[in-house]
């Protein structure tokens, strides 16, 4: 509570934002549960991930760096990364704009700010809720302003073939522009299973009534036990996200610092002209990416590679191939630092697991793939020293959560997926065409990227799309071998959304 007072005072001093934060609405139906004290925070910092700043740390940024972001007005999921145990995506269509606006106005106290997610656990609600709108959603509400992002305006379905997707694998709720918005509900509460999420979903249903219709729902969750923080292929995730000026209070070794405007619309570094009410919003690229896990496991076994000494078992060779496809071992340890064997201590250490840039003394950046293939997932999506400058505008914050069950024994023994699992992928950036879309099209899907290499890098083997799907450099003994990698990640839907600031919801979105 002490921190809250400092923080509220800090903001009233600066006279920015809404002034009061963390005060539950006494009329809110959620108030009953919000009063239950939490002992753990909503967000979980998984092994290997950057810690979250505290409110006090962020206020101190003002003293040291002269500025900090109005985090009481910025929706909570944007800046924090992949730290959810449970996350539900509730996609909706607006039937009745007028009653939707009235309901949303009453619901605003439940929309969770970044400040709330950084506050002490005991003052956090049971779950966070964020809201985002598609372009057709804003239009349905009578907001016809051009937000200055053409991909957002046309929606992801219209962009799907440009991204390399096959429309035949898109699920019907996402095909078209019928989704007007999405509620994100996130919490750490795993037992009793889903009870907090169900509580918030029923709160949405009772608050919004027939003004909206549920179009689709994805219940995502961190994997169980030791796999928590790992995506379904088994690799630790959420390790490398950029530090954001005005928010991140420490910069980890090897971490890129981006201006706040790379992520937040209207901030320094945002390259587009937009209506002033979009300040402190962001664009969210949502992708439902199905993962063929038993197929990936079988293929890496069938194509197991050898180290230069020839000492690996088939299983070790499969793990080695998988690590080279990602550029990290399953523990998160980067192959650029530990090329031949996994190093779980390194993987779990945020002080060192990003401290590399693919350049080495006595190694040629344009030809040497012995440590990390040019086509590896993390090299294609963040080329570090492969590019002459830091390309900060092409960074984005990844914040997705895995969905679907663990692989069953019958799926494993048949090498065939029978259940839907994958990544409810989320990336936040101020310009879709510079962040997610650039990483997907210009980098992952482009065989000649990174440029100026002595050999063609090939397509990124995990999420790269194109035909043929040939990734080079995976075999360290003979990097000229081209691997035609089956598609283990199938895009099955998605949408581009705008995530407004909380004051934009009250002042613009719900205004008539
Ligand atoms: C199911 C699909 C995907 C899986 C399983 C996956 C998995 C991973 C893993 C394991 C890492 C390494 C951990 C880390 O550095 O945080 C990673 C990093 C990353 N991924 Fe993905 N990813 C997927 C889709 C995508 C897509 C579609 C994009 C963008 C088009 C993307 C962009 C990135 C970026 C930018 C990084 C950080 C690279 C760095 O800074 O070193 N990922 N991903
Ligand atoms: C921010 O720093 C300025 C100058 O250093 C100071 O006058 C101001 O009170 C500080 N604001 C907060 C909220 O700490
Ligand atoms: C603070 O400012 C310095 C100098 O501009 C910069 O190098 C540093 O990265 C900033 N730190 C944060 C956490 O933004
Ligand atoms: C690079 O090569 C030079 C000359 O062969 C050698 O003296 C030096 O120790 C090497 N450096 C590294 C980091 O291997
Ligand atoms: C599954 O893949 C493994 C590895 O390639 C192979 O040994 C096994 O025979 C396959 N099983 C089936 C049922 O196809």
Q: Distance from the CA of 59 to the center of ligand 2, in angstroms? A: 9
Q: Which of 82, 378, 402 to mutate to test the pocket of ligand 1 (most atoms within 8 A of CB)?
A: 378
Specify the 3-state DSSP secondary structure of 95: coil
Atom 38 in ligand 1: residue holding the nearest Cα? 378
Q: Distance from the CA of 243 to the center of ligand 3, in angstroms? A: 10
Atom 2 in ligand 5: residue holding the nearest Cα? 298
Measured distance CA(127)–CA(284) in Å, rounded: 20
List residues near ligand 3 (CB under 6 A). Answer: 65, 245, 248-249, 251, 257
Interior/surface letters 367-388, b for 16+ CB within 10 angstroms, e for the rest: ebbbbbbbbbbbbbbbbbebee
- With a 6 Å cutoff on the Cβ, whether 64 touches ligand 2 is no
Domain ranges for the chain: 296-393+409-420+438-489
Question: What would you report as the CA-atom Rg of the chain, rounded to the nearest whole angstrom?
Answer: 22
CB atoms < 10 A from the CB of 309, how many? Answer: 8
CB atoms < 10 A from the CB of 340, how many? Answer: 17
Per the DSSP assignment, residues forming a β-bridge with 216 are: 91
Q: Are 406 and 293 in contact (CB under 8 A)?
A: no
List, run by run, the mean pLDDT of 10-residue segments along the chain (512 residues): 40 32 40 63 96 90 80 97 97 98 98 96 94 98 98 98 98 98 92 79 97 97 97 98 94 96 97 96 99 98 95 98 98 98 98 98 96 98 93 95 98 98 98 98 98 96 96 93 96 98 98 82
Report the nearest atom of ligand 4 relative to the CA of 361. Answer: 13
pLDDT of residue 59: 84
Q: What is the separation of C-alpha 14 from the centre of its chain, rounded to a whole number of angstroms?
A: 31
Atom 19 in ligand 1: residue holding the nearest Cα? 378
Helix (H) / strand (E) containing 496: strand 489-499
Report the nearest atom of ligand 4 relative to the CA of 360. Answer: 13
Are β-strands 243-244 and 128-133 bridged in parallel, bridged antiparallel, or unpaired?
unpaired
Q: What is the DSSP annotation of 325-356?
A: HHTB-TTS-BTTTSSSS--HHHHT-TTTTT--
Report the nearest atom of ligand 5 relative to the CA of 299. Answer: 5
Q: Distance from the CA of 266 to the center of ligand 2, in angstroms? A: 22
- With a 6 Å cutoff on the Cβ, whether 10 touches ligand 2 is yes
Report the nearest atom of ligand 1 relative to the CA of 233. Answer: 5
Looking at 216-354, list the stretches that DSSP marks H as alpha helix, in order from N- to C-terminal side.
260-263, 293-302, 314-326, 344-347
List residues near ligand 5 (CB under 6 A). Answer: 298, 301-302, 414-415
pLDDT of residue 299: 98
pLDDT of residue 193: 57
Of the candidates 216, 219, 237, 342, the residue annotated as catalytic is 237
Q: Are 422 and 220 in contact (CB under 8 A)?
A: no
List residues near ligand 1 (CB under 6 A). Answer: 231, 233, 235, 237-240, 287, 289, 291, 326, 328, 377-378, 381-382, 398, 422-423, 425, 436, 439-440, 444, 462-463, 489
Q: Annotated catalytic, 237?
A: yes
Report the nearest atom of ligand 2 relative to the CA of 14. Answer: 13
Atom 1 in ligand 3: residue holding the nearest Cα? 65
Torsion angle of alpha carbons 331, 248, 255, 464, nearest 10°?
Answer: 70
């Amino acid at each position: 509570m002490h921190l809250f007072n400092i923080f509220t005072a800090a903001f009233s001093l600066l006279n920015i934002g809404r002034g009061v934060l963390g005060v539950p609405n006494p009329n809110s139906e959620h108030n009953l549960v919000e009063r239950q004290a939490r002992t753990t925070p909503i967000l979980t910092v998984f092994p290997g991930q950057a810690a979250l700043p505290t409110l006090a740390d962020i206020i101190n940024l003002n003293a040291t760096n002269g500025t900090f972001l109005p985090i009481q007005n910025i929706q909570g999921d944007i800046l924090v990364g992949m730290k959810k145990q449970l996350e539900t995506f509730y996609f909706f269509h607006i039937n009745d704009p007028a009653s939707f606006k009235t309901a949303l106005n009453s619901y605003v106290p439940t929309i969770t700010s970044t400040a709330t997610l950084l506050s002490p656990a005991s003052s956090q609600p049971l779950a966070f809720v964020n809201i985002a709108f598609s372009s057709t959603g804003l239009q349905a509400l009578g907001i016809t302003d051009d937000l200055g992002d053409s991909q957002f305006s046309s929606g992801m379905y219209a962009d799907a073939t440009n991204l390399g997707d096959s429309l035949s694998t898109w699920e019907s709720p996402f095909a078209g522009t019928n989704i007007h918005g999405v509620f994100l509900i996130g919490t750490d509460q795993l037992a009793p299973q889903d009870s907090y999420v169900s509580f918030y979903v029923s709160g949405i249903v009772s608050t919004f009534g027939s003004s909206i219709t549920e179009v689709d729902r994805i219940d995502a969750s961190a994997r169980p036990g030791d796999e928590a923080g790992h995506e379904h292929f088994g690799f630790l995730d959420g390790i490398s996200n950029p530090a954001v000026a005005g928010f991140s209070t420490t910069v980890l070794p090897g971490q890129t610092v981006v201006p706040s405007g790379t992520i937040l619309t209207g901030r320094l570094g945002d390259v587009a002209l937009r209506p002033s009410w979009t300040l402190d919003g962001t664009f969210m690229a949502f992708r439902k990416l199905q993962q063929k896990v038993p197929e990936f496991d079988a293929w890496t076994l069938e194509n197991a590679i050898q180290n230069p000494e020839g000492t690996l078992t088939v299983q070790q060779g499969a793990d080695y191939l998988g690590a080279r496809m990602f550029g990290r071992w399953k523990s998160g340890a980067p192959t650029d630092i530990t090329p031949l064997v996994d190093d779980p201590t390194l993987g779990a250490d945020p002080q060192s697991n990003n401290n590399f840039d693919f350049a080495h003394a006595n190694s040629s950046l344009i030809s040497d793939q012995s440590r990390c293939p040019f086509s590896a997932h993390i090299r294609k999506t963040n080329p570090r020293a492969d590019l002459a400058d830091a390309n900060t505008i092409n960074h984005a914050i990844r914040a997705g959560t895995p969905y679907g069950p663990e692989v069953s024994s019958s799926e494993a023994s048949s090498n065939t997926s029978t259940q839907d699992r994958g990544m409810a992928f989320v990336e936040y950036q101020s310009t879709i065409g510079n962040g997610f879309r650039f990483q997907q099209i210009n980098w992952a899907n482009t065989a000649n990227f990174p440029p100026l290499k002595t050999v063609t890098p090939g397509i990124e083997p995990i999420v790269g799309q194109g035909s043929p799907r040939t990734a080079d450099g995976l075999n360290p003994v003979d990097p000229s071998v081209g691997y035609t990698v089956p598609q283990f990640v199938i895009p099955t839907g998605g949408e581009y959304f705008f995530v407004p600031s909380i004051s934009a919801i009250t002042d613009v979105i719900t205004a008539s």
